[in-house]
Structure 1
Amino acid sequence: MPSGRDSTGSSPRRASRSSHSSTGRSLRSAPGRSLRVVSKSTRQAQQRAAALTRRFWDALFAVLPVVGRRGHQQAAGKATATEMKEYLELFARGSESAEDVALRKQRYVELSNGMYDIATDFYEWGWGPSFHFAIYSGDETFREAMRRYEYTLALRLQLQPGDEVVDLGCGVGGPMRNIARFARCRVVGVNICDYQVLRGLRYIEDEGLMGQCSIIKADFMDLPFADHSKDGVYEIEATCHSPDKRKTYAEAFRVLKPGARFVGYEWACTPRYDPANAEHRRIRYGIEIGNGLPDTMTTDEIVQTLQEVGFVVEDAYDATLLSERPWYSPLTSEGSFQLSGFRHSRLGHYVTHALVSALEMARIAPKGSATMSKTLMDGARDLVAGGKLGIYTPSFFFVARKPEASSRA
């Protein structure tokens, strides 16, 4: 930035009154060389222009999901295009490939980070700080339904003020901050994505919740908490990223106090999903590639796995069946012309993709941004298709209790 120094970084030489005008002039400092003397008024004009330029870009990037601007490349240590290429390679052989499923499970950390390092800005732009769906009652708005979706967890966990609970895969911490305020409890979030951890910690500080909320970089397959130490564990559409749900659920069981509960919303294939149906498989694969999933369990497999690790499953059902309008409606044309709903609607996706593509062509957005935008847009399309057919749900709700007499780790 201009700072009253010349292009070599040295301070301008003093000159006599007659040696420069208000716009500056060249002086001979050596044969064949000249030194530009910049006046005070010129420096001030340059500084004002630089300040206006900074404000313009800050305003632009506040309303456009231009990845890389807010630090994901620094957190990942990779260029956006490189990370996007590596992410797509994990899906290269298609939905029928057991080899790709095994590879995604083996490299699940790279899969998740590859997704969220790049996609977080898009999610915040379109969805806000809570990266999940909701079910709707009556004339609830999108935001109202999102809050009730989160508060339901706190109620079913039977939390008391001062309890300490764990948020598995907490994202940037939108739900944890709402639950901490609502239940007057303490929440510690775990997340393997450096970029989201840094953003979430900033939000906690901005909202003055340092005494109630914290986020640590940790893997929900290997939680850094003592046995029988937590009053509750929850997950909101996050353990769908686990390559081994049995191990993830077992870790939740281990850290819970006897009698405490693990509550969550899980992405799952419903009983209507037919693995022999090619269209069903295509939709499922599209959802997985568009959302960074290694694989998808059925609802029955989720209940069975919870029971196998020792939980008593007190409740389990597809919450989307209780919604008075489709759970996927925010992704459709519904609400497209309302300010609060436009960004995550289908029309909003097209507009966002066009803007990001233009910014990438102008070399403002990093190369690879438009590819991620298109991947997310296609994933949203397949979620709508899966929802309309009733073969896929992001909201399989469960309440699982650790038995009182259990000492099992």
Structure 2
Amino acid sequence: MSVEQRVTEHYGRQDLAAEILGALERAGKDLSRLRPDDLASIDEFHIRGREATAELGRALRLDTSTRVLDVGSGLGGPSRHLADLYRCRVVGLDLTEEYCRTATVLADRVGLGGTVEYLQGSALDIPLPDAGFDRVYTQHVAMNISDKRRFYAEVARVLKPGGLFGLYDLLEGPGGPVHFPVPWARDPATSFLAAPDELRDLLSGSGFEIIGWRDTSAEGRAWFQQLRERIERDGPPTLGFHLLLGPEFREMARNQVRNLEEQRILPTEVICRKP
């Protein structure tokens, strides 16, 4: 089984849209009047959630004229948020077909069906033409990609000259090997963290100029603490990542926090320009 097949198996679930809409209804949401924020607790599948997406959007200087590609778009939360906020056109690409189907259903439900679209495909062979986008971004995706040189070369190919590439990923920290399972992998077979110096070399080797680099580990630890306090106060949310990853998610979440606290992972935002 290839790495991409293993990754698809890790994330693959059936009838996700129905599960999510059912959970929203149980939470008291009016399904005929949904807004992107109603989905924030499940469709921002990365540390610091909506907050990190908003920061990335500001760093990429999005506006109504920008055409944007989200590589590894998942359930489409970041693309819907940014399209709603900046009125930009966003294409989402994801390896998992069920995620693309679900993202399309949710986009229609929140009135963004004409602004965002989702394609199933590999980040190593992006099924889109050269220089078609003003901006490209990816969040918590490269950890599942072993051939990062090819990945960043593909990003550079579809980005226009002068365009910006933003990534928010987990890097290898100095604290030692990752404790598994984690939300992106159940074992090391599908986990490929790059060290900071390695990522710099990969991006430069793909022709990018790095114009921003920010380790957000402290912010991540504070976010998890706030999340823990909210769950202790209000109980676990009806709509949460357990719908995506099943009963193992509790252990995955504990390991994610431990890995962050022990500096085994470094959540990092990087902004690059294609000359």
The partner residue of 1:329 within 208, 225, 236 is: 225
Larger Rg: 1
Matched letter for residue 397 of structure 1: E
Supply the distance in 1 between the matched residues of 2:45 and 2:260 (Cα, whole angstroms): 18
Supply the distance in 1 between the matched residues of 2:253 and 2:46 (Cα, whole angstroms): 13
| CA-CA distance at 1:120 after TM superposition | 9.3
Aligned to 2:109: 206
Aligned to 1:342: 236
Matched letter for residue 160 of structure 2: K
Does the 8 Å contact 1:290/1:375 carry over to 2? no
Aligned to 2:74: 171
Which string of whole-angstrom CA distances, capped at 9 and with x for unpartnered residues, describes residues 210-234 of structure 1?
A: 2210001111111122212210000
Does the 8 Å contact 2:210/2:273 carry over to 1? yes
1:400 pairs with 2:269: no
Which string of whole-angstrom CA distances, capped at 9 and with x for unpartnered residues, describes residues 126-159 of structure 1?
A: 942221111xxxxxxxxxxx33321222221122
The partner residue of 1:240 within 132, 143, 157 is: 143
Which string of whole-angstrom CA distances, capped at 9 and with x for unpartnered residues, describes residues 335-387 of structure 1?
A: 22343x6249xxx99xx7xxx9xxxxxxxxxxxx9xx6343332222212111
| CA-CA distance at 1:392 after TM superposition | 1.1
SS in 2 for 1:257: strand
| CA-CA distance at 1:239 after TM superposition | 2.4
Please list, as runs of the form range in 1=range in 2, the aligned pairs for 1:181-330 lying within 5 A after superposition.
181-270=84-173, 272-273=174-175, 280-281=176-177, 283-287=178-182, 289-290=185-186, 293-321=190-218, 323=219, 326-329=222-225
Does the 8 Å contact 1:303/1:316 carry over to 2? no
| CA-CA distance at 1:209 after TM superposition | 1.2
| CA-CA distance at 1:177 after TM superposition | 0.5
SS in 2 for 1:232: strand
Supply the distance in 2 between the matched residues of 1:120 and 1:260 (Cα, whole angstroms): 37
Q: What is the TM-score with the length of structure 1 in the denominator?
A: 0.56
Aligned to 2:250: 377
Aligned to 1:366: none
Does the 8 Å contact 2:131/2:157 carry over to 1? yes
Count of residues paired in the alignment? 253
Supply the distance in 1 between the matched residues of 2:214 and 2:56 (Cα, whole angstroms): 14
Aligned to 1:85: none
Does the 8 Å contact 1:188/1:214 carry over to 2? yes
| CA-CA distance at 1:324 after TM superposition | 8.2
Supply the distance in 1 between the matched residues of 2:212 and 2:206 (Cα, whole angstroms): 16
Matched letter for residue 216 of structure 2: A
Q: Residue 342 and residue 306 in structure 1: after superposition, are their counterparts in 2 closer, same or farther (change >3 A)?
A: same
Q: Residue 224 and residue 373 in structure 1: after superposition, are their counterparts in 2 closer, same or farther (change >3 A)?
A: closer
Does the 8 Å contact 2:162/2:273 carry over to 1? yes
- The CA RMSD over aligned residues, in Å, is 3.0
Does the 8 Å contact 1:165/1:186 carry over to 2? yes
Q: Residue 254 and residue 294 in structure 1: after superposition, are their counterparts in 2 closer, same or farther (change >3 A)?
A: same
SS in 1 for 2:75: coil
1:147 pairs with 2:44: no
| CA-CA distance at 1:316 after TM superposition | 1.4
Matched letter for residue 222 of structure 2: P
Does the 8 Å contact 2:13/2:98 carry over to 1? no
Supply the distance in 2 between the matched residues of 1:223 and 1:153 (Cα, whole angstroms): 22
Supply the distance in 1 between the matched residues of 2:221 and 2:10 (Cα, whole angstroms): 29
Q: What is the TM-score with the length of structure 2 in the denominator?
A: 0.81
Which string of whole-angstrom CA distances, capped at 9 and with x for unpartnered residues, describes residues 143-184 of structure 1?
A: xxx333212222211223131110001011111000001111
Q: Residue 202 and residue 374 in structure 1: after superposition, are their counterparts in 2 closer, same or farther (change >3 A)?
A: closer
Q: Residue 286 and residue 199 in structure 1: after superposition, are their counterparts in 2 closer, same or farther (change >3 A)?
A: closer
Unpaired runs of at least 5, structure 2? 24-39
Aligned to 2:42: 128
Does the 8 Å contact 1:235/1:263 carry over to 2? yes
Q: Residue 313 and residue 210 in structure 1: after superposition, are their counterparts in 2 closer, same or farther (change >3 A)?
A: same
1:117 pairs with 2:12: yes
SS in 2 for 1:305: helix
